[in-house]
Structure 1
């Protein structure tokens, strides 16, 4: 009997003229709205693309790419929900349609944000002016995308009437337990993110920390690898590396050089007075240098000491060595021309309180002659 009633009701529905009219309105309205929405999105994206080509704005370029990735199935669902507004529906359907609007909207927004994050990170990696760590960029992208999709799922569950408080609390407790279990790995991961954001060094930089010196070859998720001057690869934990005092020599714009030399104590005072100006002329004639000072510093044990300070206007170490070599050679030539001798270690011994024994050199030579003959 119940089956007969259900079949009779279905027969009445299919024979009802209003049902077919409403169905035709929904189908025709869905197709029209789908065409209008696609045309509107294409028009807006083309206008923004034209504006972006004229102004060369990165944000507008990203916006165009995001609009062009709009989901076509979701666009069709939006069109259907709009078409349902044109017909009279039972009051019980209003809640379902409202949920459908929210689900379609939140899903499309999440897809747009996810696409925007991916395109933004790709543009950062392709930027020729700022070389970024790809590992840090990938980690940042994964974290942002996970947060976006988790927020979307929680919003959907909340909209469906599910209490998400207990779920969020359980996720927090589980996250704390996992973090405690892998805290060493996480510390290195966050250290890698800190290196990527703060940029104390980048790929190719020459750094020195502790007794380690080398060029950065790779900044990874857990470790950073350097190539030392002697050729071997040095692997260091990111966390330990950030705890060190790091000297980054690649970012040095100029070198401050201090060197000393000594001359003989027998040099007259007048010639000593000329040495400072002579050194100044030598350094000023060498390219890529800036003279600071040259002074007669001290009376040391076996020399008159001069201290010279100048700047090399380049961070390249080999260039500094070439400049220092040229200064040394010219300094030797100028001192030789002025007959000023470099000092060398000397020690004078005075004998007091007695008489030195006399040495007869002829006797010493006679004593050594038989030995020489025997040999």
Structure 2
């Protein structure tokens, strides 16, 4: 544990205050000792982890992120026109590149906004981008503003978001009385059996 603690110090795997995640624990580092590290989970429970365990497990340090990602599939109704879809994509792209909240330098991150696929109930637009902030609360606010803007763009194009739906087709039967349609052999057997069952269920005289 002491050797593992020195390794953590020397390699600067994480520092006090970092948000880390292991296969078993996720939270903020409160203390790094020679034998163990203390992590405050988001439910406010304090977990003490032996350094030897931390040194031998895969560990994510969210505080070392350079950017935060947003990856959405935006479903548009199939009745949307080509022009509506193109204008929606262009409107989202303009907002992403001009609002100043997203990292759009191609040397740092990749940004993709494309018509992506045809789903069961929607035409899907893929949005893949990164925010400049890595702070979780600020990222949530940026993502919320983006969601409102996309809704405004879609409604401005007189288009609508798609939702799972199912079409039911009912065929018209020929006109006439039910007696006019002869029973199939299997139907006759079923009808005969029902008649016998009805007779057998009648009360018998004493």
For the residues of structure 2 that align with 1:290 and 1:220, how far apart are their CA atoms?
A: 37
Q: Which has the higher helix share?
A: 1
Quote how far apart the aligned CAs of 1:264 are: 0.7
> What stretches of structure 1 of length at least 5 have no aligned partner?
1-187, 357-375
Q: CA deviation at 1:196?
A: 1.1
Structure 1 residue 270, shift from structure 2 partner: 1.8
Among 67, 88, 97, which residue is 1:254 paired with? Answer: 67
Looking at CA atoms only, which structure, 1 or 2, has the larger radius of gyration?
Answer: 1
Separation of aligned partners in 2, 1:273 and 1:288: 23
CA distance in 1, matches of 2:152, 2:36: 51
TM-score (norm 2): 0.76
1:239 aligns to 2:52 (yes or no): yes
Question: Aligned pair 1:327/2:140, yes or no?
Answer: no
Q: 1:285 aligns with which of 72, 94, 98?
A: 98
The DSSP-based 3-state class of the residue aligned with 2:29 is strand
Aligned to 1:208: 21
Selected match of 1:314 from 112, 122, 133? 133
| Partner in structure 2 of residue 344 of structure 1 | 163
CA deviations 1:85-113 (Å, max 9, x no partner) are: xxxxxxxxxxxxxxxxxxxxxxxxxxxxx
Distance 1:248 1:272 in 2: 38
1:30 corresponding residue in structure 2: none
User: Contact 1:258/1:307 (CA < 8 Å) preserved in 2?
Assistant: yes
So what's the TM-score if we normalise by structure 1? 0.43
2:113 aligned with 1:300 = no
Equivalent-residue separation in structure 1 for 2:83 and 2:34 (angstroms) = 65
| Structure 1 residue aligned with 2:198 | none
Is the partner of 1:234 in helix, strand or coil? strand
- For residue 103 of structure 2, give the secondary structure of its aligned residue in structure 1: strand
Contact 2:88 2:157 in 1 (8 A): no
- Once superposed, which parts of structure 1, at least 4 consecutive aligned residues long, lie more than 4 Å away? none
* Per-residue deviation, residues 313-370 of structure 1 (Å, max 9, x unmatched): 1211111111111111011112111111011110113346x849xxxxxxxxxxxxxx
Q: Over aligned residue pairs, what C-alpha RMSD do you find?
A: 2.1
Deviation of 1:258 after TM superposition, in Å, equals: 1.4
CA drift at 1:216:
0.5
Note if contact 2:88-2:153 (Cα within 8 Å) is conserved in structure 1: no
Distance 1:318 1:211 in 2: 24
SS of the aligned residue for 1:250 comes to: helix
**Pairwise CA distance, 1:297:** 0.6
Number of residue pairs aligned between Structure 1 and Structure 2: 170
Q: Matches of 2:139 and 2:97 in 1, distance apart?
A: 15
Q: Aligned partners of 1:314 and 1:253: how far apart in 2?
A: 8
Question: Are 1:196 and 2:9 matched, yes or no?
Answer: yes
